[in-house]
Structure 1
Amino acid sequence: MSAEYTSFGLAPATRAGGVLADGGYQVHRDYLDFIVDGRPLLFQLSDLDAVSPLAADVPPAIFVDHVRRLLLEAEAPLADGRYVIYGCPECEALACGAVTAVIERAGDGTDGGDAYVWRDFAWQTEERADLERNGYHGIGPFRFRAQEYRNALRRVLRAEDASGAPAARRRVLLVGARAAVLAKLAAALRIIGIGAETLPADGTLDIPPEELRTYGAVAFGRGVTDGQRAAIRGEFERAGIAVEYVDGLAPIVPLLVAQIEQALGEGQLARHRLAGLDVVDGEADVQVASTCRVRLTAYRLDRLHRGRAHAVYEGILEPGSHRIALDPRAVRGRAFLVARAPGAVLVSAVP
């Protein structure tokens, strides 16, 4: 094994939830990702929709247990000294599949001779991993300086570094004139793990500052006047609270959910696999930061103002810019495009 050290850190990450074109849901998860040699480790695992065990919505005791396991202060949960590095974002069942690795202490007599090593990465669905069939042979082993490794994980337990914890403001205020749309949107957001409250377009914002701080975004419907938008913005500004503001593109619930997901993840764009989305000359221009599976869905309003959804594309894309032709029937009239990848969602209007 190489004695070369690799840097270790933790950074907030998001697995974007959403309402899918087929009516299904995927749950939103906030978690801490492992930053190995300055880059999210998950980016090295192509086409994987997964989260680390350091998730914001697990009970405190379980969160602490996961950290202590990574510090080797608790027994390995799997056979052969293997630990879960990434697991299913919807549940904790091993049957869904998980990325696991052996974690051990090592020393070579240099630089204090103290290190944590992650090795033998594998995709595991049963009690024991089959390294020959399911091993990630191109990943690791990683050798982390013990002090750096312990400091990063113990900082999470002490909660001393606010920038190193998953985002906590996963609530959105929905303001609009159509009560039925607001109710459906709020229900969809709650299902995927985002808190949502509604306010009529002609209502008054009467929320104390301490509660305003729990919001990460405010979404405005098209029926909200400029005056009310300014009044609501003023309430947040006077309280010294920075939030993302979303202007709803159309009364299509899955589209609005995607817009809100994008807004809540704006501060983490540098760690997203999707780097950009645009529509040019009848083609989707998708910019990808690391190899991943991308799903494109077109939404439009028909002549009766009903929402329509069309699956446009799904496949694995390599890093770079990709042009994907759009079926004119899927984007005729007033249309919008949503791109989803593990941990990211982007929305673009179709010219």
Structure 2
Amino acid sequence: MTDQLEVAALHRIGSASPQKRERYSFDFVVNGVSLFEATQAFKYDMCGSLSNPQFEREEARQINSRTAAMLTSDVPVGGHRVALFVCPECGDFACGAITARVSRTELGVQWSDFAYENGLDTASKLGLGPFEFEWAAYLTEIERSKAD
């Protein structure tokens, strides 16, 4: 049996004091469970690595194609790490990111080895997954994030 992936709207409310940028991005929901919640990305004040083109068209055009490619067509057989949740101000890995190893499988794609990383400290494993997604359904869901 394969896992089910959905992208769901994720909203970060902005403020003037302290200065916080409002962001509209996507959460990844696996089998009905929010990964934003399960990874506790909210504790790090993160947003999704994919911008919601309905509200952030320019950001989505700049970011989503590259990130979607890392999640789909650019996945090597051995896999690579992909940031799922990032700093909402700059998206810089050094600010911290929730990542997963994304690998191709016979059925489609697998997400495993979830961790909090910042490029300086040893990655903190999060104990989630692995999740395996059927290719066609997975691709359709990731494609929903792209801007027109």
Question: Is the structural similarity TM-score above 0.5?
Answer: yes
Counterpart Cα distance in 2 of 1:5 and 1:49: 30
Tell whether the 8 Å contact from 1:18 to 1:28 is kept in structure 2 after alignment: yes
Aligned twin of 1:154: 143
Aligned twin of 2:35: 41
Amino acid at match of 2:74: A
Counterpart Cα distance in 2 of 1:45 and 1:158: 26
Aligned twin of 2:125: 135
**Equivalent residue in structure 1 for 2:48, among 35, 38, 52:** 52
Aligned twin of 1:122: 115
Counterpart Cα distance in 2 of 1:29 and 1:14: 6
| CA distances 1:45-65 after superposition (whole Å, capped 9, x unpaired) | 232321111114315143211
Change (3 A) 1:98 1:156: closer
2:70 aligned counterpart, secondary structure: helix
TM-score (norm 2): 0.82
Aligned twin of 1:19: 16
TM-score (norm 1): 0.37
1:26 aligned counterpart, secondary structure: coil
| CA distances 1:269-300 after superposition (whole Å, capped 9, x unpaired) | xxxxxxxxxxxxxxxxxxxxxxxxxxxxxxxx
Aligned twin of 2:74: 74
1:154 Cα deviation from its structure 2 partner: 2.0
| CA distances 1:73-104 after superposition (whole Å, capped 9, x unpaired) | 2368xxx7111111111112211100111101
2:145 aligned counterpart, secondary structure: helix
1:126 Cα deviation from its structure 2 partner: 0.8
- Asked which structure has the greater RCO (Cα within 8 Å, sep 6+), the reply is 2
Aligned twin of 1:278: none
Amino acid at match of 1:68: A
| CA distances 1:182-218 after superposition (whole Å, capped 9, x unpaired) | xxxxxxxxxxxxxxxxxxxxxxxxxxxxxxxxxxxxx
Gaps of 5+ in 2: none
Counterpart Cα distance in 1 of 2:47 and 2:100: 15
Aligned twin of 1:97: 96
1:66 Cα deviation from its structure 2 partner: 1.2
Counterpart Cα distance in 2 of 1:100 and 1:19: 29
Tell whether the 8 Å contact from 2:111 to 2:130 is kept in structure 1 after alignment: yes
1:158 Cα deviation from its structure 2 partner: 7.0
Counterpart check, 1:144 vs 2:126: no
Amino acid at match of 1:122: A
Aligned residues: 139
Gaps of 5+ in 1: 108-113, 160-351
Counterpart Cα distance in 2 of 1:74 and 1:125: 23
1:6 Cα deviation from its structure 2 partner: 1.5
1:25 aligned counterpart, secondary structure: coil
**Superposition CA RMSD, Å:** 2.2
2:2 aligned counterpart, secondary structure: coil
Tell whether the 8 Å contact from 2:80 to 2:102 is kept in structure 1 after alignment: yes
1:29 Cα deviation from its structure 2 partner: 0.2
Aligned twin of 1:29: 23
Amino acid at match of 2:31: D
% of aligned pairs identical? 25
Tell whether the 8 Å contact from 1:122 to 1:130 is kept in structure 2 after alignment: no
Counterpart Cα distance in 2 of 1:96 and 1:158: 26
